[in-house]
Structure 1
Amino acid sequence: MRIRGILFAVGVGACLGTAALADPILGTWQVEPDHKGQIGLVVIRRCGEAFCGRVMQVFDRAGKSVVTRSMGRDLFWDLKPNGNGTYFGGRVWVPLHDKVYDAKARLKGDQLIVRGCVGPVCDGQTWNRIY
């Protein structure tokens, strides 16, 4: 699965071009396994003045590409930079609950901590950069 993911990320990266990589959040990220053990690849791109993250590919536990209802959908949108590697103000769709929550994220090297919040209560995942 890792090789497929890397090849996919290289293709996506070529499409993004070097000018679009000005913000460190841009790129392809591997999400944590879901309750079925499936792992998704999310491409973060600019959406106006903010950022959006779209599920581009999903793999099952065996590393085989699978089709899910998440594929091709934005997982989050309207995420705005806040400085020092933090992002806020967006919305995140959580497929497991099929609900949308307030979103925020924090970049730490090649990891992105993505959180969905209802008021002061937040939960989320740590994603790893692929490209």
Structure 2
Amino acid sequence: MRPLRDCRRFAVKRLLAIAALCTSTPLLAAQPVEGKWLTEERDAIITIGDCGNTVCGRITKFLVAPPQGADQRDVNNRDPKLRSRKLLGMPVLSGFTKDGDEWRGQIYDPKCGKTYRSIIRRVNATTLQVKGCIGPFCQSQTWKRAR
């Protein structure tokens, strides 16, 4: 009977070790997304940071000048009152909050003037997956950390 008791002790110790690991490290914790990110089209740098109770991202640099130059306005916006604002410095990511291993908020596309539901997730230290969604359908982009 002694070997059975040893097996039970071993099993209990393993379960305790697994429980300790599970409680000491949060599962599915969203990795920080703050920093400067190069868009997939490599035409702009988006700086993501704290915006009060949420996280947001602004266009902080053009790598490819927009059609009307660096002073380009938000001419495609559906709201006529917002069409005079400059693209440079404008928020394109807004209202992002942690949700498990992702961040959820909204993304604005100044090229078409539309806002979409969005999900962002850090894949690794240098890669950010950015999704824009309409209903259940999402389109993904990969952004790289800017230097």
Using structure 1 for the length normalisation, give the TM-score.
0.68
One-letter amino acid matched to 1:111: T
Percent identity between matched residues is 29
Q: CA–CA distance in 2 between the matches of 1:28 and 1:102? A: 21
2:128 paired with 1:115:
no
Q: Which residue of 2 aligns with 1:72?
A: 89
Q: CA–CA distance in 2 between the matches of 1:129 and 1:82? A: 22
Q: Which has the larger radius of gyration?
A: 2
Structure 1 residues 34-58: Cα deviation after superposition (integer angstroms, max 9, x where no partner): xxxx610010011122110000001
* Deviation for aligned residue 1:72: 1.1
Q: Which residue of 2 aligns with 1:91?
A: 106
| TM-align CA RMSD | 1.8
Equivalent residues, number:
99
Q: CA–CA distance in 2 between the matches of 1:72 and 1:47? A: 14
Q: Larger strand proportion, structure 1 or 2?
A: 1
* Deviation for aligned residue 1:79: 0.8
2:39 paired with 1:31:
yes
Q: Which runs of 5+ in 1 are unaligned?
A: 1-22
One-letter amino acid matched to 2:129: I
- Structure 1 ranges of 4+ moved more than 2 A: none
Q: Which runs of 5+ in 2 are unaligned?
A: 1-30, 74-86
* Deviation for aligned residue 1:130: 1.8
One-letter amino acid matched to 1:93: Y
Task: Determine helix, strand or coil for the equivalent of 2:94.
Answer: strand
Q: CA–CA distance in 1 between the matches of 2:103 and 2:55? A: 9
